[in-house]
Amino acid sequence: MDRIVECVPNISEGRDIDKIERIVSVIEQGEGVKLLSYEPDADYNRTVITFVGTPEGVVEAGKRLLKAAYEEIDMRNHKGEHPRMGAVDVFPFVPVKGVTMDDCVALARKLGRWAGEELKIPVYYYEYAATTPERKNLATIRSGEYEGLQEKLKDPRWKPDEGPAEFVPTFGAVVIGARDFLIAYNVNIDSQDVKYSKTIAETIRESGVLIKSKGGKKIFGADGRPVRIPGRLKYVKAMGVTLDKYNITQVSMNLTNFHVTPPHIAFEAVKLEAEKLGVHVKGSEIVGLVPLEALVLAGKFYSLKEDREPPEDPDELLKIAIDKLGLSVLEEFVPEKKVIEYMIE
Amino acid sequence: MDRIVECVPNISEGRDIDKIERIVSVIEQGEGVKLLSYEPDADYNRTVITFVGTPEGVVEAGKRLLKAAYEEIDMRNHKGEHPRMGAVDVFPFVPVKGVTMDDCVALARKLGRWAGEELKIPVYYYEYAATTPERKNLATIRSGEYEGLQEKLKDPRWKPDEGPAEFVPTFGAVVIGARDFLIAYNVNIDSQDVKYSKTIAETIRESGVLIKSKGGKKIFGADGRPVRIPGRLKYVKAMGVTLDKYNITQVSMNLTNFHVTPPHIAFEAVKLEAEKLGVHVKGSEIVGLVPLEALVLAGKFYSLKEDREPPEDPDELLKIAIDKLGLSVLEEFVPEKKVIEYMIE
């Protein structure tokens, strides 16, 4: 495929495996789309589905998925720990290869229009597809959740972007949008004491660390927000965690815009901060999937770091990235299972 | 005064007090201008001068100051720890009351034109008065310093904004501009080894630290810019310096937007990073003037940090700020000499 879009819809069913399989099975019932994974979570009562395909392929698959969920899921009985608003709760389009964010916004709007017209369900657009600044943030749109939706739909400020402003009790509402690729990326710290990973996480994550009062309270500044010392890296969420299985700890990160902060910069930042604390980095791991581009950038960076001209072959660059980031230190990094482009080929 | 502009020229003489006084004395030899302070620094071999006045008054005072420095200072013998390019090194106009940033840009250009035509010295405009994006940043204009100026002036890209592209050995060049209120703020580190202050500076300043190749070269990213690990605090410039006089080192900062990063956050960030390195903070100092608001914010913050209701009296808040930031640790902090509102009254 020359052009690849990833979709990561979440459906509000995480317990009834038969039902989940019936819904998920519709995704590949068409051209130009490939199901990559689905992960039911019983506590959340929610399933994260990942599929990729051509721009046309993913929109058609999206229609099939929305229709199947509309028919199979009844939100009137839904309970679960994760916030949700509808049977298909959130449906992001993510550019992977040969498509722009604007393309993905157009795809989101195409699917949304269809859902409003054909299924007659309320549709909200979020992130890059949002129609107002207030609707950019998913949590804001979803506040009040399914239970508050009937009231919310009466508020003119919350008129849906598509579909009637009428409550559909069995479905609720769907939030469709376009966002950047999210890379779940963990850097290993060669210490069993998690305090180092926690300090490093606080230093590098964008949100930094709250300054607390002696009595342990948040301190509010002139802007009404809690006072914090920000962290070093933009578009990075991070926390320190213990990984009992390997007797190490990790700085566990979400990189929400790898064009601004790619894995190799996160890795180098963790390494720098670890050295200050007298501990060492011992490789890293990518959880879930990664676009080839992110590791090609790393391969180029590490070639230049050793004063060498980067090779042009993406396979070569990938090998350098795997080596220098230590991606096979804990478990072997198999490109066919991790790199989106390799999975589709 | 209904309209007030602040000027904070820096002259490259911090040791010869007689000479400094002769230069500074010309400022008030005219209408509509009031000298607020001048602070010679022997290590930097540099004096920060602050005066305020009407738009007309400060431009005329600026002409007198440039002329006096041109006659008194000989850059051929100048040595000091602070980067500098000329006898009057930098000359910013800062809007204080009843004037806009655009007004200040016009005043900067008026003074610059005069200096180019009358003194025939090279003039560069920076910040809001810059003529190209590359010249916005003072450090970029000043790179190479006085010693590299003769070569730099031969480069067509560094043709001066005013005056001839000819090296004037006794003066060097002056950088004139318009900017927001800047707080020069230094936090003391209780160690004689400057490496700690340097590492802290690299961690907290917005520009962070460049990642170099093994051969010491910059590494360029996909965006064509040198790859760096950013620092924690927005609108903060910082470097580590040695302060021989007190046998300590300092994280020397410029806070260029104190509404985003006020002194107390810079102080807390330096403290946090110092602890990681096993060194300690020993008070801090404000070089030049500070708006009352910045220290009132600090007083409120430290009251809340001790779980106390902040007092309403600004004088009380100021006392708390002086105490908690350790502003009198090196030299006594006298509000009547440091806080801009107190000076103008």
Q: For every residue of chain B, which 3-state class applies, written as one string?
A: CCCEEEECCEECCCCCHHHHHHHHCCCCCCCCEEEEEEEEECCCCEEEEEEEECHHHHHHHHHHHHHHHHHHCCHHHCCCCCCCCECEEEEEEEEEECCCHHHHHHHHHHHHHHHHHHHCCCEEEEECCCCCHHHCCHHHHHCCHHHHHHHHCCCHHHCCCECCCCCCCCCECEEEEECCCCEEEEEEECCCCHHHHHHHHHHHCCCCEECECCCCCECECCCCCECEECCCCCCEEEEEEEEHHHCEEEEEEEECCCCCCCHHHHHHHHHHHHHHHCCCEEEEEEECCECHHHHHHHHHHHHHHCCCCCCCCHHHHHHHHHHHCCCCCCCCCCHHHHEHHHHHC
* Out of A16-20, A252-256, B241-245, B301-305, least confident range: B241-245
* Structure tokens, A63: 């229609």
Q: Do A301 and B233 touch (CB under 8 A)?
A: no
- Stretch(es) of chain B classified as CATH 3.30.70.670: 183-206+235-344
Residue B99: its pLDDT value, please?
A: 86
| Chain mean pLDDT for chain B | 95
Residue A318: its pLDDT value, please?
A: 98
In chain B, the N- to C-terminal Cα span, in Å, equals 10
Residue A23: its pLDDT value, please?
A: 98
Structure confidence at residue B342 as a pLDDT band (50, 70, 90):
confident
Residue type, A266: A
B301 contacts in chain A (CB < 8 Å): 219, 221, 227
Taking CB atoms and an 8 Å cut-off, how many pairs form between chains A and B? 78
Say which residues have a Cβ less than 8 Å from residue B103's Cβ, sequence separation at least 6.
B5, B55, B95
Task: Round to whole Å and give the CA distance between B121 and B118.
Answer: 8
Q: Which residue has the tokens 């917005």?
A: B206
Site from A196, A292, A303, A305 to mutate, B interface, most B CB atoms within 10 angstroms:
A305
B229 contacts in chain A (CB < 8 Å): 232-233, 265, 268-269, 272
- The yes-or-no answer on residue B82 being catalytic is yes
Give me the CATH code for the B183-206+235-344 domain, please: 3.30.70.670
The percentage of chain B sitting over the pLDDT mark of 90, rounded to a whole number, equals 87
Give me the CATH code for the A183-344 domain, please: 3.30.70.670
B223: exposed, middle or buried (C-beta count within 10 Å: 0-12, 13-18, 19+)?
exposed
Task: Note whether B50 and B57 are within 8 A (CB).
Answer: no
Marked catalytic residue, from B82, B259, B264, B280: B82
* Structure tokens, B270: 């330096």
A199 contacts in chain B (CB < 8 Å): 276
pLDDT higher for B244 or B345?
B244
Q: Do A227 and B272 touch (CB under 8 A)?
A: no
Nearest to A229 among B208, B265, B304 (CB): B265
Q: Which residue has the tokens 């490789």?
A: A283
B268 contacts in chain A (CB < 8 Å): 211, 229
Residues of A carrying an active site annotation:
82
The ipTM is: 0.84
Considering the entire predicted model, what is its pTM?
Answer: 0.81
Residue A20: its pLDDT value, please?
A: 97
* Structure tokens, A18: 């038969």
A243 to chain B, closest Cα gap in Å: 24
Is residue B339 pLDDT above 90, yes or no?
Answer: no
The chain B residues in contact with chain A (CB within 8 A) are: 199, 203, 208-209, 211, 213-215, 217, 219-222, 227, 229-234, 265, 268-269, 272, 276-277, 297, 300-301, 304-307
CA torsion A175→A178→A181→A182, rounded to 10°?
A: -30
Task: Round to whole Å and give the CA distance between A39 and A9.
Answer: 11
Q: Do A232 and B265 touch (CB under 8 A)?
A: no
Task: Note whether B307 and B290 are within 8 A (CB).
Answer: no
Nearest to B229 among A199, A265, A306 (CB): A265
Is residue B200 pLDDT above 70, yes or no?
Answer: yes
Is residue B97 pLDDT above 90, yes or no?
Answer: no
Sign of CA dihedral B73, B75, B80, B86: positive
- Stretch(es) of chain B classified as CATH 3.30.990.10: 4-178
Task: Round to whole Å and give the CA distance between B262 and B259.
Answer: 6
Task: Note whether A18 and A62 are within 8 A (CB).
Answer: no
Pairing of strands A174-178, A123-127: parallel
Q: Do A232 and B208 touch (CB under 8 A)?
A: yes
Taken as a whole, chain A contains a residue count of: 345
Cα angle A123, A124, A126 (rounded to 5 degrees) comes to: 145
Is residue B257 pLDDT above 80, yes or no?
Answer: yes
A305 contacts in chain B (CB < 8 Å): 211, 213-214, 219
pLDDT digits (tens, 9 = 90+) for B60-85: 999 999 999 999 999 999 998 899 99
Say which residues have a Cβ less than 8 Å from residue A193's Cβ, sequence separation at least 6.
A249
Residue B345: its pLDDT value, please?
A: 60
Site from B304, B308, B324 to mutate, A interface, most A CB atoms within 10 angstroms:
B304
pLDDT digits (tens, 9 = 90+) for A90-123: 999 999 999 999 999 999 999 999 999 999 999 9
Q: Do B301 and A221 touch (CB under 8 A)?
A: yes
Sign of CA dihedral A167, A170, A176, A179: positive
pLDDT digits (tens, 9 = 90+) for B311-326: 999 999 999 999 999 9
A304 contacts in chain B (CB < 8 Å): 213, 217, 219-220
Give me the CATH code for the B4-178 domain, please: 3.30.990.10
* Out of B36-40, B93-97, B156-160, least confident range: B93-97
Which three-class secondary structure state does DSSP give residue A252?
strand
Task: Note whether A49 and A68 are within 8 A (CB).
Answer: no
Below-50 pLDDT ranges, chain A: none
Q: Do A220 and B276 touch (CB under 8 A)?
A: no
Residue B1: its pLDDT value, please?
A: 64
Is residue B341 pLDDT above 80, yes or no?
Answer: no
A165 to chain B, closest Cα gap in Å: 41
Q: Which residue has the tokens 């502003």?
A: B327
